[in-house]
Amino acid sequence: MFNFFSTKPKNYEDIPAGPFHDLTLQPNTVILDVRTAGEFAGGKIRGARNLDIMSPSFYSQVKNLPKDKTYLVYCRSGNRSGQACEIMADLGFENLKNLAGGIMRWPFETV
């Protein structure tokens, strides 16, 4: 029998583009794009910082980020950013927001 209670609780929130966009305008938020440098160069959310989750240095880069900020994390479709949020939650980050559907669902300006 499958036990629904044995699954690990999600330590981050999936939020749609509208609320995600509103949060990008708040102080104390950091926008993280966890796609590859090539994807990042092809268009990103304004103010985003690129930390490629596939990079061997991802873990050590994230580990050193301040934990008192709100992190807005996105990728192309929301899968890699969800994984990034899990890693960050395991490292003790508490304010994590994942862009539901990723940048493919982003109706706002990219730069």
Catalytic residue among 23, 75, 96, 99: 75
d(CA 43, CA 92): 30
Closest CA relative to residue 14, chosen from 90, 109, 91, 101: 101
For this structure, is 75 an active site residue? yes
Instruction: Judge whether 47 and 110 are in contact, CB under 8 Å.
Output: no
Give catalytic residue positions: 75
